Amino acid sequence: MQVVTINYLTVLVCAVVSLIIGFLWYDILFSKIWITETGKLEDESGENFSPVKTYSFAFVAEFVMAFVLAYLISLTKANTVVEGLRVAFVSWVGFILVVFFLNRLFEKSSKRLFWINSMYYLINLLIFAVILILW
């Protein structure tokens, strides 16, 4: 069996970077479009919305995503940025894009929301790959 090595500090950094990307993506770049496409009100936080709980779970989820990508990069012996980007892209197509596409089909959500959300994860995975390879 192949030995898989993972730098947990790098995975942690990826999770933190992901939260920053999420802030830039959803609060600055696509805020108005995302609000319109989801049907939420701009000042709507919801009675049951807990920022600490939500962002804590988001951080854990991003950590898991970075960990799995690190695992796949190690498993495939990718050791250049191009190889890491390839693993990230294939992972995005196979696991993220397909799931978001199926969700769009069944939820009847807009194309704009589909692309905003799925491209967010592509950007994340590509940046994760660069960090994981170069660190």
User: For position 123, what pLDDT does the model report?
Assistant: 98
Q: Which pLDDT band holds residue 50 (cuts at 50, 70, 90)? A: confident
Rounded Cα–Cα distance for residues 16 and 65 (Å): 12
H or E element, residue 59? helix 51-75
> pLDDT: is 105 or 1 the higher one?
105
Q: Give Cα separations from 117 to 38, 76, 106 (angstroms).
A: 11, 27, 16
pTM of the model: 0.90
- Report pLDDT digits (tens) over 25-43: 999 999 999 989 888 765 5
User: For position 127, what pLDDT does the model report?
Assistant: 98
User: For position 51, what pLDDT does the model report?
Assistant: 84
- Report pLDDT digits (tens) over 57-88: 999 999 999 999 999 999 999 999 999 999 99
Please name the residue that has the structure tokens 């498993």: 75
Tokens at residue 91, please?
């992972």
Residue 12 identity: L
User: For position 3, what pLDDT does the model report?
Assistant: 82
Rounded Cα–Cα distance for residues 50 and 93 (Å): 31
Tokens at residue 24, please?
């830039």
Tell me how far the alpha carbon of residue 123 is from its chain's centroid. Answer: 7
